[in-house]
Copies of this chain bind each other. A is one copy, B any other.
Amino acid sequence: MPEHPDYEGFALSKLKEAGHRITMPRLAVVRVLARSERPLTPNGIHSEIAATGGKIDVVSVYRILSTLSSLGLVHHIGSVDAYSACQLDTGHGHGCEHLICTSCGRVEELPVADASSIAVTDQSDKAGFSVQAIRVEVLGTCPECQAEA
């Protein structure tokens, strides 16, 4: 049950669109990200690929992540210092919200409903701040983990 319906296709077309080549290492990274329910570190991605019989250098993982990142295809999640596939159209310039379960580590990605309002709403004295992007990380416990407890 991949978190992203067709992240692979989505990512590959974005890559092409940006004039990048579809290579095996890139495919491998994209696939691993697509299937992972939790954010992965560069090392995690590398081992994941290795575990699946794939062969790729960690260095390439870094480079590929950086490429994907510039295309908005992955998000670096600060609070856990790892990367997660991102399929939201970042075209509208806002950002997205991550629900991070501190128990199972799973990450849900959601569009920030009304990005700029978060910033502006609660502080009228900061209203002059022009919002380019927003990143929201919500740490907590997902329903499943609550049930287990």
Contact = CB atoms under 8 A, between A and B. Distances in A.
Contacts of A114: 122
A31 to B, nearest CB: 26
A71 interface: no
Q: In the complex this chain forms, how many copies of it are found? A: 2
A128 to B, nearest CB: 4
B113 A97 contact: no
A129 B138 contact: yes
Contacts of A108: 126, 129
A132 to B, nearest CB: 4
A127 to B, nearest CB: 9
Nearest to A113: B122
Given A78-B78, A118-B136, A134-B137, A129 B112 contact: no
